[in-house]
Every structure is written in structure tokens, then in C-alpha cells.
Amino acid sequence: MDNEEKVTIELLQEEIVRLKEENKRLIEGNEKLIARNMMLAEKVDIYYDVRRRVEWLKDLVRRHREFMAQADLRSDEELLAVIETRIESEEIPLPPEFGIKEVAELVGTTQTRIADLYRSRTIYNSVDKYLDFLRLMRALKTLKDNPGYSIDAIAKDSGFNSVRTLQRKIQEAIGLSPGQFRDITNPE
């Protein structure tokens, strides 16, 4: 082999080494680009998932507003009937904190509408008085039907804050203590 061929072979070998290094650099660069593209694809997926959820929530809010608007279109009598049916027939628990807000949510209308309704259309004059009446009726029924229950348990089950409140409400309503009422309704 002559000198010129040796130089050409060396140049070709150097070119092969250079091309291998450049190929390696390109592969590493592509791996970084692939990783970056995958990360961007994940971000795009998350973005579209969030957008889909936002659209779903917007639709839910829109439907709720429509429902609320329709609830407010009911006549007062219809709304009172819905309230009484939901609370009394379904025997919804009436804990002490159950009030106008919960009644409004239960029937899908505003607290203002409920307050105005009870102030102008019922003998109770307020939702709280209506709920106290229901609690009292439940307590009297329990006293009558379950003579073994303690007054404390009946007060809690009926939704009164304390035994004292139950005793006062029964005394005001029928002029008897819970024990006296129980004795009258359950003669042994």
C-alpha cells in the first residue's frame, strides 16, 4: 500500500469515528427530544382532561341553575307540598343544625324564597318554628310508642339540643312534662 492509500484510509477511519460520535450525539439529542415530547404530550393530556372536567362542571352548574329557576317557578302551595312531603314522608332526620339552608337545598330553591313562603303562607311564620313543631311531633310519637326510651335519647333522636329544650317545648305545647305525657299515653 502506498502512502496515499494509507492517508486515505486514515482519513476515512477518522471520518468514521467522527460520524459515530455525531451519530451518538444525535441519538442522545433525540432521546432528550423524545422525553421532552412525551412530557409535553402528558401536559397536553392533563390540560384537555382539565378542560373536559371544567366543561362538565359548567354543564352541571347550568343544569343546577335551570333546576333552581324551575323550583322558583312553582307555586307557593306546590313548594310547601314538596317540602312537607320530602321532610315528613321521607322522615328526613332533623338534627339541631338542620334549618332553612338545608330545607332550601332539599327542594332546590333559595333561602329567601323559603323564608318568605313560611312568613306569608303558613301558621308557623318561620322555618325554624315548623321544624321545631316536627321535632316535637316526633318526640311525642316516640314517647307514646316507646315507653322504655329515655327522655335524653328521645331528645337527641328528635333533633333537640337538650332534654331541657324538649321538656320546655312539650310543656308549652300540651301543658305536661314528657313523663306525664308518657304516663297518660301508656297506662300500665
Whole-number Å distance between alpha carbons of 140 and 154: 9
Handedness of CA 69, 74, 80, 86 (dihedral sign): negative
In the three-class reduction of DSSP (H, G, I as helix; E, B as strand; rest coil), residue 127 is classed as helix
pTM (2 d.p.): 0.59
User: What span, in angstroms and rounded, lies between the C-alpha atoms of 163 and 169?
Assistant: 10
pLDDT tens string, the chain, 188 residues long: the values are 677 777 788 888 888 888 888 878 877 777 777 777 788 778 888 888 888 888 888 888 887 767 655 655 568 888 888 888 888 877 778 888 999 999 998 888 889 999 998 998 888 889 999 999 999 999 999 999 988 889 999 999 999 989 999 999 999 999 988 988 888 887 76
d(CA 108, CA 125): 21
Q: In whole angstroms, how far apart are CA 60 and each of 57, 92, 105?
A: 5, 25, 15
